Amino acid sequence: MDLTASQAARPLTDGFGRRISYLRMSVTDRCDLRCRYCMAEKMQFLPRRSILSLEEIGEIADAFIARGVRKIRLTGGEPLVRRGVVDLVRMIGRHLDSGALDELTMTTNATRLADHAEALVDAGIRRVNVSLDSRNPETFRYVTRWGELDRTLEGIAAAKAAGISVKINMVGLKGLNEDEIVPMMRWCADQGHDLTMIETMPLGEIDEDRHDRYLPLDAVQQQLEEQFRLTPLIERTGGPARYWQVEELGLKLGLITPLTNNFCAGCNRVRVTVSGKIYMCLGHDDHLDLKTALREGGREALDAVLDKAMILKPERHDFAIEKGHVSSRATRHMSVTGG
């Protein structure tokens, strides 16, 4: 699809004047792991008839790019479990060649990354975020319920060998991986990976109390500053993380703190699920239906829904720590919306 001047002149801007330039697109709600903070052990996944085809995902991506989105992240579930996902990457990646898109990235658990790394590079992926909460095999298996650490590490190594830049995402979990934060920092520095720490987010019903595992990252930062010199960086990658340079390690450290330090003021992103719903905020259940618009009205109807989404995008999320528990108005699992 060629992007016309009239389309490019209609940027997506919400009611608070924030320009939407970043889209996170889920390509599947399925995953081959069951991380405890993300999913219940027994999940009810969407039937095939309810999900967008790869071609439809590509058409929706085209519509966003025409309206000024410059970065797209493919998410899941686990995107690499979706058959044909590399074809989708290639479909969207053609906009990198034209200059209409600045970056196409992916979030993955890396269990299948070794099989796809070279093909992803050929299709346009240059950077991935890998979820890795522990480098202890027993802790890793506990958090993921049945994951094999070696497979994830092999995937990370394959991505690096293929020339893909890797950022490690580590969710801070009280009583599980607090003692691994500094070792993870040192390992990432040695491997040439960036590291982002994330506070657990209250999305969906899981099998345990999130508050029991909630680790406030402002306290973690204070502890790190007793050991290292953290220099604030103005660099942004389009997401909610704030970054520091860990001088002693030569490591770029990101912190995503939805609870201890609200990150909404500069929000530039929306999320689209594999069922074609656009969520204007991760912390709200409000959404609109892009799938029906696309199938029944085509591009014009799709653009009308995007315009409405900008009007409805809230100023901030509703994640909170209340009365001893972590809460949110959002009832869906993170795997439904995409990480």
> Hey, what are 277's tokens?
């719903």
Distance CA 316, CA 303 (A): 24
Q: ω into residue 77 within 30 of 0, thus cis? A: yes
**Binding site for S-adenosyl-L-methionine: what residues are annotated?**
37, 77, 131, 201
- Return the DSSP state at 260: T
User: What angle (nearest 5°) sits at the alpha carbon of residue 21, between those of residues 15 and 22?
Assistant: 110
Joined tokens for residue 44 = 């009810």
What 3-state DSSP class applies to 210? Answer: helix
Phi and psi, residue 145, nearest 5°: 80, -35
259: tokens are 């609870």
For residue 333, give the amino acid letter.
H
Task: Count other C-beta atoms under 10 Å from residue 311's C-beta.
Answer: 9
Query: For the packed helices 113-123 and 149-161, what is the interaxial angle rounded to 10 degrees?
Result: 30
Binding site, annotated residues for GTP: 24, 73, 107, 167, 269-271
Rounded CA gap, 192 and 49, in Å?
A: 42
Within 10 angstroms of residue 201's Cβ, the number of other Cβ atoms is 23
Binding residues for [4Fe-4S] cluster: 31, 35, 38, 264, 267, 281
DSSP 212-264: HHB--HHHHHHHHHTTS-EEEE----SSS-EEEEETTTTEEEEEE-TTTS---
Spatial separation of the C-alpha atoms in residues 126 and 117, rounded to whole Å: 10
Binding-site annotation, residues: 24, 31, 35, 37-38, 73, 77, 107, 131, 167, 201, 264, 267, 269-271, 281
Residue type, 189: A
Q: Is 184 helix (H, G, I), strand (E, B) or coil?
A: helix
Provide the residue count of the chain.
339
Gap between the Cα atoms of 160 and 158, Å rounded:
5
